[in-house]
């Protein structure tokens, strides 16, 4: 049996939602992941996990020993998660052995011209670039990144046995995630408080998560006459418990930010609601307004109307939920994400000039 390609990923801090993605990628390759977070796997893991000490200097991160590791280890492909603040990863891209293919992962465009110039330079030097979303990939192509070096691995989270529970009672508007100012949970609370007289009394607003803004959100909820219909729960990572929340959800809401919770919601067959200009790393591209979720206007009144519509029209919310899980399975599962990695790793440099666009 031919030896599998050896792939090394230089990462920042490995979080729980990435583990299943890496496990799926390890089915294809001899995979090692170097990072500076907590160890997330055990000795029986299907990929090797190497944790490097982290040194922080102002906004910059240095992973002690990473450069030596990259120079000395034998691998066929190096994938660098490209956050310019993680200096050791950036330098590793340039010092890796010449016989290894260099691939970037997670490049994005910001409001900083110099940083954007650096990202575009790296994208042109790389053998391939893996982007989280089609929109970001197209931006880089417009600014000079060769199309044949562009691949999309749509950002997602793992949902075991994705599907919608068709027998459960749907009686909640759900938020799952961290309490951050950008999520605008204050708007969600106020919109629900205004809409509550126009929806069934069994419908509650349920928050699941923790974070810096949770205390303020609780205080705001206590000021509303409908506080007895607003519930708060701590962060939960148990998939069975999380599924229980989604099984009762009419819709999932994060008014100000559309991140990975979009894909998690879709995986459980729950439509996602956010505003059309919400902060997003590209995940908002998955929301097709009126098909698997709703993109409302960026004001409280618009969110009120959406909540009333979805909570009052079971046929509508059910169809959106069914479309959501169908979309997840076909377009945003872990296997779909991994296929983007495989395409980039297996791309042939000598054929790239004649390759068809992949974004």
Residues 233, 300, single domain; the answer is yes
Return the pLDDT at 355.
Answer: 42
pLDDT digits (tens, 9 = 90+) for 218-240: 999 999 999 999 999 999 989 99
In this predicted structure, the answer to whether residue 316 has a pLDDT above a threshold of 80 is yes
Residues 11, 141, single domain; the answer is yes
Q: Indicate whether 78 belongs to any domain.
A: yes
Query: What percentage of the chain has pLDDT greater than the value 70?
Result: 96
Q: What is the mean pLDDT of residues 192-200?
A: 96
Residues 212, 312, single domain; the answer is yes
Work out the pLDDT band at 2, boundaries 50, 70, 90.
low
Residues 184, 305, single domain; the answer is yes
User: How confident is the prediction for the chain on average, in pLDDT?
Assistant: 94
Residues 52, 148, single domain; the answer is yes
Q: Indicate whether 235 belongs to any domain.
A: yes
Q: What is the mean pLDDT of residues 178-193?
A: 97
Query: What percentage of the chain has pLDDT greater than the value 90?
Result: 93
Range of the domain at 209: 172-331
Work out the pLDDT band at 358, boundaries 50, 70, 90.
very low
Q: What is the mean pLDDT of residues 204-217?
A: 97
Q: What is the mean pLDDT of residues 21-41?
A: 97
Residues 121, 202, single domain; the answer is no
Residues 182, 301, single domain; the answer is yes
Q: Are 321 and 254 in contact (CB under 8 A)?
A: no
Q: What is the mean pLDDT of residues 51-75?
A: 96
pLDDT digits (tens, 9 = 90+) for 163-174: 999 999 999 999
Q: Indicate whether 163 belongs to any domain.
A: no
Return the pLDDT at 350.
Answer: 54
Q: Indicate whether 166 belongs to any domain.
A: no
In this predicted structure, the answer to whether residue 337 has a pLDDT above a threshold of 60 is yes
Return the pLDDT at 95.
Answer: 94
Q: Are 250 and 176 in contact (CB under 8 A)?
A: no
Cα(330)–Cα(314) distance, rounded to whole angstroms? 24
pLDDT digits (tens, 9 = 90+) for 86-141: 999 999 999 999 899 999 999 998 889 999 999 999 999 999 999 999 999 999 99
Residues 109, 180, single domain; the answer is no
Q: Indicate whether 217 belongs to any domain.
A: yes
Q: Indicate whether 161 belongs to any domain.
A: no
> What's the whole-model pTM score?
0.92
Residues 70, 102, single domain; the answer is yes
Residues whose CB falls within 8 Å of the CB of residue 61, separated by 6 or more in sequence, listed in order: 12, 36, 54, 55, 85, 86, 87, 88
In this predicted structure, the answer to whether residue 354 has a pLDDT above a threshold of 80 is no
Q: Is 276 helix (H, G, I), strand (E, B) or coil?
A: coil
At 358, phi and psi to the nearest 5? -120, 15
Q: Indicate whether 218 belongs to any domain.
A: yes
Strand partners, 295: 274
Work out the pLDDT band at 359, boundaries 50, 70, 90.
very low
Q: Provide the CATH number for the domain around residue 226.
A: 3.40.50.2000
Work out the pLDDT band at 43, boundaries 50, 70, 90.
confident
Residues 10, 29, single domain; the answer is yes
pLDDT digits (tens, 9 = 90+) for 5-19: 999 999 999 999 999
Residues 181, 324, single domain; the answer is yes
Give the torsion through C-alpha atoms of 287, 158, 335, 143, to 10 deg. 50
Q: Indicate whether 99 belongs to any domain.
A: yes
Number of domains within the chain: 2
Residues 203, 278, single domain; the answer is yes
Residues whose CB falls within 8 Å of the CB of residue 314, separated by 6 or more in sequence, listed in order: 170
């Amino acid at each position: 049996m031919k030896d599998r390609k050896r792939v090394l990923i230089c990462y920042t801090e490995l979080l729980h939602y990435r583990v299943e993605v890496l496990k799926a990628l390890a089915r294809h390759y001899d995979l090692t992941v170097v990072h500076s977070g907590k160890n997330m796997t055990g000795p029986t893991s299907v990929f090797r996990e190497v944790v490097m000490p982290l040194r922080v200097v102002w906004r910059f991160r240095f992973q002690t020993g990473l450069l030596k590791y990259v120079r000395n280890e034998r691998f066929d492909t190096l994938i660098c998660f490209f956050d310019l603040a993680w200096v050791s990863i950036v330098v590793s891209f340039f010092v890796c052995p010449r016989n290894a293919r260099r691939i970037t992962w997670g490049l994005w465009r910001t409001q900083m011209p110099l940083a954007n110039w650096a990202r575009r330079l790296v994208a042109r030097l790389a053998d391939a670039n893996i982007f989280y979303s089609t929109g970001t990939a197209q931006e880089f192509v417009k600014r000079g990144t060769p199309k044949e070096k562009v691949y999309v691995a749509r950002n997602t989270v793992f949902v075991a046995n994705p599907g919608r529970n068709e027998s459960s009672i749907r009686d909640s508007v759900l938020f799952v995630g961290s309490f951050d100012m950008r999520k605008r949970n204050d708007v969600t609370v106020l919109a629900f408080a205004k809409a509550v007289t126009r929806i069934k009394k069994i419908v509650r607003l349920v928050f699941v998560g923790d974070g810096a803004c949770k205390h303020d959100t609780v205080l705001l909820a206590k000021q509303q006459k409908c506080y007895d219909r607003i519930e708060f729960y701590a962060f939960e990572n148990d998939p069975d418990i999380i599924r229980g929340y989604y099984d009762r959800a009419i819709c999932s809401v994060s008014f100000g930010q559309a991140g990975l919770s979009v894909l998690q919601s879709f995986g459980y067959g729950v439509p996602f609601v956010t505003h059309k200009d919400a902060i997003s790393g590209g995940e908002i591209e998955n929301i097709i307004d009126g098909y698997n979720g709703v993109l409302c206007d960026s004001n409280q009144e618009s969110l009120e109307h959406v909540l009333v519509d979805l909570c009052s029209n079971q046929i509508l919310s059910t169809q959106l939920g069914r479309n959501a899980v169908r979309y997840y399975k076909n377009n945003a599962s872990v296997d779909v994400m991994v296929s983007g990695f495989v395409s980039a790793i297996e791309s042939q440099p000598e054929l790239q000039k004649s390759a068809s666009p992949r974004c």
